[in-house]
Amino acid sequence: MPLPTVIVPGYLESAIAYRQLEQSLQQLNFPTVTVPLRRRDWLPTIGGRPVTPILQKLDLTIKHTLEQYNVTQINLIGHSAGGWISRIYMGEKPYMVGSNAKPSLWKAHPLVATLITLGTPHISQERWTRSNLDFVSNNYPGAFYKNVRYVCVAGKTIFGERRRGSWLAYSSYQLTCGKGNTWGDGITPIEAAHLEGAENLVIEGVRHSPRSPGMWYGSPEPLKAWVQYLI
């Protein structure tokens, strides 16, 4: 049987939004669970504060999954912010963002066989998220742990322009990588979604969120492009 897979929701998103992806993976014989987040669980993290409450729920979910399936490793799928949160979780440096934060540490990379990130902004110019992302980039640059397979999936769907229909994408890309006139999934530009040393994929026609109209990364067709990397 393949290793169990844990899905980490994106920022301000609940586990419910990933039910279809969860079921699709289960039908392909990948035992799958989503970190049981509710939207309100993200409230303590708003404004660039530490994402420790999310990391704690991730840790509990993984420990339970390892025990339930009697395995020593899992696969991780991080959507959007869930991708860089997973990179913090795997790390060996005390995580502390903000002057009042208590350092936390998980050292979980030996537990992770494969990390797949879907539309994750691995860099940011935006001041609220930059403190967290700088922590990740400075301590764990690129596909940092050689014992983990990193697969970074980007979408090529909307070109950011200062005109109707493309303005949101332009603004989001600008905040993320410093330029708006580029391709991405409507929220995350391609260049921010990839990591040096990772298996970097681009899927055309996918939008950023499971709540977006049309296809997103977890829809049945795009899923075929990256599910092969799960162990």
In a domain, 181, yes or no: no
The band of 22, judged by pLDDT with boundaries at 50, 70 and 90, is very high
Task: Kindly report the backbone phi and psi dihedral angles of residue 120, in degrees, each rounded to the nearest multiple of 5, phi listed first.
Answer: -80, 130
Nearest to 85 by CA among 191, 196, 195, 11: 11
Interval 154-207: pLDDT, tens: 999 999 999 887 899 999 999 999 999 999 999 999 999 999 999 999 999 999
**Do residues 211 and 193 touch, judged by C-beta distance below 8 A?**
no
CB atoms closer than 10 angstroms to residue 46: 10
How far is Cα 209 from Cα 90, in angstroms, rounded to an integer? 24
Task: Please tell me whether the overall predicted TM-score, pTM, comes out greater than 0.95 for this model.
Answer: yes
In a domain, 166, yes or no: no
Q: Which residue type is seen at 145?
A: Y
Mean pLDDT on 54-58: 97
Q: What is the mean pLDDT of the chain?
A: 96
Domain of 149 in residue numbering reads as: 5-155+186-229
Share of the chain above pLDDT 90, in %: 90
Q: Tokens 């742990």 belong to which residue?
A: 145
How far is Cα 188 from Cα 209, in angstroms, rounded to an integer? 10
CA angle 160, 46, 187 (to 5 degrees): 15
In a domain, 28, yes or no: yes
Identify the three-state secondary structure at position 158. Answer: strand
In a domain, 38, yes or no: yes
Residue 100's pLDDT is what? 62
Identify the three-state secondary structure at position 114. Answer: strand
In a domain, 180, yes or no: no
Nearest to 194 by CA among 145, 149, 143: 143
The band of 128, judged by pLDDT with boundaries at 50, 70 and 90, is confident
List of residues 6+ apart from 202 with CB closer than 8 A: 153, 154, 155, 156, 190
In a domain, 169, yes or no: no
Residue 127's pLDDT is what? 84
Mean pLDDT is lowest, of 61-70, 93-102, 193-202, 213-222, for: 93-102
Identify the three-state secondary structure at position 167. Answer: helix
CA angle 189, 96, 42 (to 5 degrees): 60
Decide if pLDDT at 99 tops 70: no
In a domain, 25, yes or no: yes
Q: CA torsion 18→24→28→31, rounded to 10°?
A: 30
Could you give the number of structural domains in the chain? 1
The band of 103, judged by pLDDT with boundaries at 50, 70 and 90, is confident
CB atoms closer than 10 angstroms to residue 165: 8
In a domain, 79, yes or no: yes
Mean pLDDT on 6-16: 98
**62 membership: H or E segment, kind and range:** helix 52-69
> Residue 214 belongs to a domain with what CATH number?
3.40.50.1820
Share of the chain above pLDDT 70, in %: 98
